[in-house]
Structure 1
Amino acid sequence: MISPSGDRQSLLGRIVIDPEICHGKPVVRGLRYTVESLLEYLAGGDSVDDILAEFPDLEREDLLACLQHAAVSMKVHSRHLAVA
């Protein structure tokens, strides 16, 4: 379980946005694995263990960071819609 404070920030620190990497899409630790593609694997039914076996340079915390990034993004998007 992700705690509401410190762990969340350390997980989000794994997500990098750099215009020189994958056209500025959020990626995991600068490794060129986009958050979007990893979320698509999870949404498609792949388990965390499946993904880690397929991509051995990823860590469990990287996938948790992707989920946390998505959750934060949804909150921002929802707030934006509420204001509009």
Structure 2
Amino acid sequence: MISRITIDPVVCHGKPTIRGSRLLVTTILELLAGGASWSELREEYPKLEDDDIRACLDYAVQLAQFKSIPVAA
């Protein structure tokens, strides 16, 4: 699942994005924290899939647990 998150130093200043896009993981997490539903997120970002949202949540959980997170470049 975490393979859906990519970090590329030349894309969004190296911040984690979804599947090599310019959609930041933090954007999805902030929208969820603000009360957006999954269907609202998919409506706003048509290429976003449920597994992308799950990957963002998984990424956040792993960070909160202070685990090392390998991500594809």
After TM superposition, the score normalised by the length of structure 2 is 0.88
Gaps of 5+ in 1: 1-10, 78-84
After TM superposition, the score normalised by the length of structure 1 is 0.77
Q: State the Cα distance separating 1:65 from its structure 2 match.
A: 0.2
Taking only aligned residues, the RMSD between alpha carbons, in angstroms, comes to 1.0
The answer to which structure has the higher helix fraction is 1
Q: Which residue of 2 aligns with 1:66?
A: 56
**What is the distance in 1 between the residues matched to 2:20 and 2:11?**
7
The answer to which structure, 1 or 2, has the higher relative contact order (CA under 8 A, 6+ apart) is: 2
**What is the distance in 2 between the residues matched to 1:60 and 1:38?**
12
Runs of 4+ in 1 over 6 A off after TM superposition: none
- The structure with the larger Rg is 1
Q: Which amino acid aligns with 1:30?
A: G
Q: Which residue of 2 aligns with 1:26?
A: 16
Query: Which of 30, 47, 52 is the matching residue for 2:42?
Result: 52
Q: Which residue of 2 aligns with 1:7?
A: none
